[in-house]
């Protein structure tokens, strides 16, 4: 069956890293994927524009859950520019490229998603939610 559903991606999704809620968050945003009903709520706390804590509640497919888990693992400490770089790495993977070495190298697990356009939004949703949470905090 599909290389999309490789064991490593399934394990990443099942890890649910970062799953939960922050009480109280500094900012919280819920975004939907209108195509399939995926829903991600992203809570963040920030100091000086940097993420000091985050938690996500992800009701979604394996791709979206795995993307949320990657963010849960690696997004702490990022500022707006760092998040933009992470998003750019994800976009590069969706175009069939390689992610940069380092924290976001794990995005390579999503390479099979590049061929399935209808699933791109699933990978993007947690990134979009986190971007929106940062933007919400900055007013």
Partner 1 sequence: MMARGFDHALIRAQFPILEPGVHGRHLHYLDNGATAQMPKAVLDAIVRHETRHRANVKRSVHFLAEAATEAYDDARESMKAYVNAASEEEIVFTSGCTGAINLVAYSFGSLLEAGDEVVISALEHHSNIVPWHMLAKRAGVVVKAIPVTPEGRLDLDALPKVIGPRCRLVAVTHVSNVTGAETDVAAIVAAAKAVGARVLLDGAQRAPHGPIDVKALGVDFYAFSSHKMFGPNGVGVLWGKSELLARMPPFLGGGEMIARVTLEETTFAEPPRRFEAGTPPIAQAVGMAAAARWISGIDQEAAHAHLQSLTGRMLEGLEGMGGGRVRVVGPLGLQNRYPVVSFIVEGGHPHDICQLLDEEGVALRGGHHCAQPLMNAFGVTGTTRASLALYNDADDVDALITGLGRALKKLHL
Stretch that binds partner 1, among 15-23, 43-51, 54-62, 79-87 (CB under 8 A): 54-62
Contact, 128 vs 64, CB < 8 A? no
Angle 62-74/7-15 helices, nearest 10 degrees? 60
Binding to partner 1 by residue 53, rule CB under 8 A? no
User: Which of residues 1 and 101 has its CB atom nearest to partner 1 in the complex?
Assistant: 1
Half-sphere CA count of 38, side-chain side, radius 13 A: 26
Site residue total, partner 1 (CB under 8 A): 19
Contact 52, 69 (CB under 8 A): no
Residue from 37, 49, 77, 97 touching partner 1 (CB under 8 A): that is 37
Structure tokens at 52: 């000091």
The contact set with partner 1 (CB under 8 A) reads: 1-2, 4-5, 10, 14, 35-39, 59-63, 116, 119, 122
């Amino acid at each position: 069956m599909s290389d999309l559903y490789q064991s490593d991606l399934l394990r990443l999704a099942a890890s649910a890293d970062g799953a939960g809620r922050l009480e109280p968050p500094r900012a919280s945003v819920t975004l939907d994927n209108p195509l399939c009903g995926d829903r991600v709520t992203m809570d963040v706390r920030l100091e000086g524009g940097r993420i000091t804590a985050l938690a996500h509640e992800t009701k979604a497919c394996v791709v979206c859950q795995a993307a949320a888990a990657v963010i849960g693992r690696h997004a702490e400490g990022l500022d707006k520019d760092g998040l933009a770089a992470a998003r750019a790495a994800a976009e590069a993977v969706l175009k069939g490229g390689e992610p940069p070495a380092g924290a976001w190298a794990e995005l390579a697990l999503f390479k099979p998603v590049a061929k399935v356009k209808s699933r791109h939004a699933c990978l993007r949703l947690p990134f979009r939610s986190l971007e929106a949470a940062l933007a919400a905090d900055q007013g």
